[in-house]
């Protein structure tokens, strides 16, 4: 699974995801656009042994914060891509959809 995160807080959020208990993965910064200081990271999740619900809840809360309080969380876009090619944009996702996609990725 890959999670693409775009925005000023992309690195911090990617670090939080890959250091969640039960998750094996890493992240890398893939681009930085100087004009707005926008960062894009790709978090690659190799395996989820436990914690799929925790990750789903973190992502869901992140989305709520970025919508309700844009000055606190500086994220422009989060896209989840499953191993089978399933794609889910965080801004359109329900907690149930996030949980379902992450549960499919459990190893």
- What is the extent of the structural domain holding 72? 2-104
CATH assignment of the domain containing 71: 3.30.70
Asked if pLDDT for residue 72 goes beyond 60, the answer is yes
Asked if pLDDT for residue 37 goes beyond 70, the answer is no
* Averaged pLDDT of the chain: 82
Asked if pLDDT for residue 88 goes beyond 90, the answer is yes
Joined together, the tokens standing for residue 55 give 């990750």
Q: What is the mean pLDDT of residues 94-101?
A: 90
Looking at 1-107, list the stretches that DSSP marks H as alpha helix, in order from N- to C-terminal side. Answer: 10-18, 52-68, 95-104
Q: What is the mean pLDDT of residues 40-50?
A: 80
Q: What is the mean pLDDT of residues 77-91?
A: 90
Count: domains in the chain: 1
The fraction of the chain above a pLDDT of 70, given in percent, is 89
d(CA 70, CA 22): 30
* Model confidence, pTM: 0.80
């Amino acid at each position: 699974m890959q999670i693409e995160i775009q925005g000023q807080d992309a690195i911090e959020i990617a670090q939080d995801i890959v250091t969640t208990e039960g998750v094996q993965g890493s992240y890398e910064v893939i681009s930085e656009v100087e004009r707005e200081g926008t960062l894009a990271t790709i978090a690659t999740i190799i395996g989820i042994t436990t914690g799929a619900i925790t990750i789903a809840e973190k992502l869901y809360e992140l989305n709520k914060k970025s919508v309700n309080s844009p000055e606190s969380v500086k994220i422009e876009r989060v896209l989840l891509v499953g191993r089978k090619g399933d794609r889910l944009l965080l801004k359109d996702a329900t907690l149930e959809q996030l949980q379902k996609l992450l549960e499919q990725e459990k190893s």
